[in-house]
Amino acid sequence: MIAVSCIELCKTYRQGDQDIKALDHVSIDIEKGGFVCLSAPSGGGKTTLLNAIGGLDIPDSGEVWIAGQRIDQLSKGQLAHLRLRQIGFVFQAYNLIPVLTARENVEFVMQVQGVRAAERRERTDAILAEVGLAGLEGRRPAEMSGGQQQRVAVARAIVSRPALVLADEPTANLDSKSSDALMELFVELNQRHNTTFIIATHDQRVMAYARRVIRMLDGRIVEDIRQHAA
Amino acid sequence: MQMLHIISTLAWRNLWRNHRRTVIMIAAVSVGVWAMIFMTALMRGMVNDMVRDGIQSLPGHVQVHHPGFRDDPGINKLLPQTDQDIIDGFATGGFRAWASRIKVPAVVSSERESRGVTLFGIDPERERAITFVADSIVAGRLLENVADTGVVIGQKLADVLDTELGKRIVLMSQDPQNDIADRGFRIVGIFDAKLESYEETMVFAAKETVQKMLRVPNRVNEVVVLGDDYRDVSRLRNRVAELSGPDVEVLPWDEVDGYLGTMLSVMDGFVLVWMIVIFLALSFGLVNTLVMAVFERVREIGLMLALGMRPANILAQIIVESLLLLVIGLLIGNTLAWASIAPLAGGIDISAVAEGMEMFGASSVLHPELIARDVVSANVVVIVLGFFASLSPAWRASRYEPMEAISKV
């Protein structure tokens, strides 16, 4: 079953007098439960592709389908609903809400979804324990290390059990030990919940965990490798 | 409900993120609200004094006349009922105070001078509760009953006529047949009014004595009724109209005395303008605070949009943040206003400027008056205009593109 399908995606940015092709006729299908890494050097188009899949950026042309629904023509409100219900995001810079505690950051998406308080609490406690943050629920982002913050961000992305998790350079600010721990957590969640993971990275250690690595260069897919994960 | 909870939680915590800025803004709102309410209370107090004094200076709250009286206020425009019928009827009205009068233009002459005046034939007992004259006697006495043969004039008129207490003057007017009606009166009292014009133009004699002089026994041309609140006389007016019967004109004080009525209307308008002007000054600070607050949180706003929060929720969050700030300012401002007005209930002595104020009929003691409607107006102005002032930064925040916002450094 196809979780994500991109057909002939094109996206051009204007930088000064230059047009930069961030996506140049990109077509890919990603199966449900897939664990895929998008790899490219900086400016290669991986973040643009990730944003297009997540409905955060609208391609100039082409189609994006998520779970059988075409999303590139949806309104802002419909895209917000799609992201809320079906997609979990992990950003490079953690992007936690500084005025909320770890627990509240994790609960945030569920609160917006309208999940009842008791259920929210139960699921938050479980996920925070799962990512190794039990006991730190009351801390605000400024009181946590980078690794801890990224684990909160991961917990927030997966706590509402989205079908798809999009992670943009999730290990970029982590040391190798924290990176490995995070990737092992992703693999475990992928296997346990059959959640589809698409991770944009240029870190070889991260790519080693993926079952499929899609290499991009100058907005084009240059290699699509299926491999045995580490 | 959950959305409201998360929105209010975020708004509240973000409010205190830059607590110094928030405290300064709250202080500005508090002082602004205090100024709105306190200054309004002072102005209200001054105008109330003027209106009350004005009402005491004869109009009462409601007056009854012949329909043509206002165009030709003379002896030919008598009320259709006899004075006794009026007295019997109004005695059942349950009014705070009322009196029937005869009021005609007249000429007063002393042995040296003469002047045009308005002659009031009054029931001194009944007028005591309505007009200023009983409390303003500075020499002699007030009339003793409806058959008293004396007259009470103002200090200024006594000076103009070059006469004094105990001397005789002659009052001359016309009877209904347009024949001269005159009579000599001994001055039994001299009053000192707040307005010199009153002292110079008003002459009070006993009602029956004036009726005899004008040859209109048991007839009057004015009934004055006093209610409980000059701001709301519509029910009083209806009740008076019921008792007055047909073929009369029943008017509230603000129509009888257009100047007073207009002054009160102008005051109401001025209070609103005053509040809006103060808030407009505040709104620059408020908008600036919100713009800065939004600018500092562009990434978070982008993040929340990326996570699936709707733009309307972002809009609501910024507006709630603004309203929380305003509500805190309102609470403090209202408390400050109350705390500064309550100790002044006994009045503020403004005798240093009283002479100038007398020109407007204001007294030398100013009683600030805290009116619920003014407090509500100030609060509503702040909340409603604050809401609109917040819309622009809130709208801008809600229109961010998630990825552009997240990428902002």
pLDDT 10s digits, A32-44: 999 999 998 888 8
Chain B residues with CB-CB distance to A165 below 8 A = none
Q: Is the pLDDT of residue B361 over 60?
A: no
- The pLDDT value recorded for residue B131 is 81
pLDDT tens track for B207-234 = 999 999 999 999 999 999 988 877 778 8
pLDDT > 90 fraction of chain B, expressed in percent and rounded: 39
In this complex, the residue of B13, B306, B310 whose CB is nearest that of residue A99 is B13
pLDDT exceeds 90 at position B334: yes
The residue-averaged pLDDT of B336-349 equals 86
Predicted confidence at residue B232, as pLDDT, reads 77
Give the best residue of A13, A75, A97, A110 to mutate against chain B (max B CB count within 10 A): A97
Best of A99, A113, A152 to substitute, by most chain B Cβ atoms within 10 angstroms, is A99
Beta pairing, strands A2-15 & A61-66: antiparallel
Residue B265's φ and ψ, nearest 5 degrees, are -65, -45
Q: How far apart are CA B180 and CA B157, in angstroms?
A: 22
Binary contact (B6, A85; C-beta < 8 A): no
User: What pTM does this model have?
Assistant: 0.72
CA distances from A34 to A37, A165, A166, A198 (A): 10, 10, 12, 8
| pLDDT of B272 over the 90 cut | no
Q: pLDDT value at position B144?
A: 92
**Partner A, chain B 301-320, Cβ-Cβ below 8 Å:** 303-311, 313
What is the structure's pLDDT at B258? 73
For B259, B294, B348, the CA distances from B368, given in Å and listed in that order, are: 22, 41, 8
For A115, the closest chain B residue by CA position comes to: B2
Q: Which residues of B touch A99 (CB under 8 A)?
A: 10, 13-14, 17
CA–CA gap between residue A119 and residue A108 (Å, rounded) = 13
Q: Residue A167's closest CA among A192, A197, A190, A130?
A: A197
pLDDT at A229: 66
> Taking CB atoms and an 8 Å cutoff, what residues of chain B touch A100?
9-10, 13
Q: Could you confirm whether domain A34-55+75-226 is CATH 3.40.50.300?
A: yes
Interface membership of B8 toward A (CB under 8 Å): no
Mean pLDDT of B345-364: 66
Residue B353 pLDDT grade (very low, low, confident, very high; cuts 50, 70, 90): low
When CB atoms are compared, the residue of B2, B300, B406 closest to A97 is: B300
Nearest to B103 by CA among B223, B198, B183, B190: B223
Q: Which residue has the higher pLDDT, B234 or B152?
A: B152
Q: Nearest to residue B302, comparing CAs of B218, B368, B398? A: B398
Mean pLDDT of the B361-367 span = 68
pLDDT interval class at B132 (50, 70, 90)? confident
Domain ranges of chain A: 34-55+75-226
* pLDDT attached to residue B58: 63
Average pLDDT, chain B: 87
Lowest mean pLDDT among A153-157, A197-201, B10-14, B401-405: B401-405
**Residue B349 pLDDT > 90:** no
Could you report the per-residue pLDDT of B61-91, keeping only the tens digit for each? 888 999 988 888 888 899 998 999 988 888 8
Question: A32 by DSSP, 3-state: which?
Answer: coil
pLDDT at B31 over 70: yes
Is the pLDDT at B204 greater than 80? The verdict is: yes
Q: Identify residues of A whose CB sits under 8 angstroms from chain B CBs.
A: 51, 54, 56-57, 76-77, 80-85, 89, 91, 95, 97-100, 104, 108-109, 111-115, 117, 156
Q: Let me know: does A200 contact A169? Beta carbons within 8 Å.
A: yes
Interchain contact, A84 vs B5, CB within 8 Å: no
> What are the residue ranges spanned by the domains of chain B?
2-54+261-407, 60-256
Could you give the ipTM of this predicted complex?
A: 0.87
- Is the pLDDT score of B328 beyond 60? yes
Residues of chain A with pLDDT under 70: 229-230
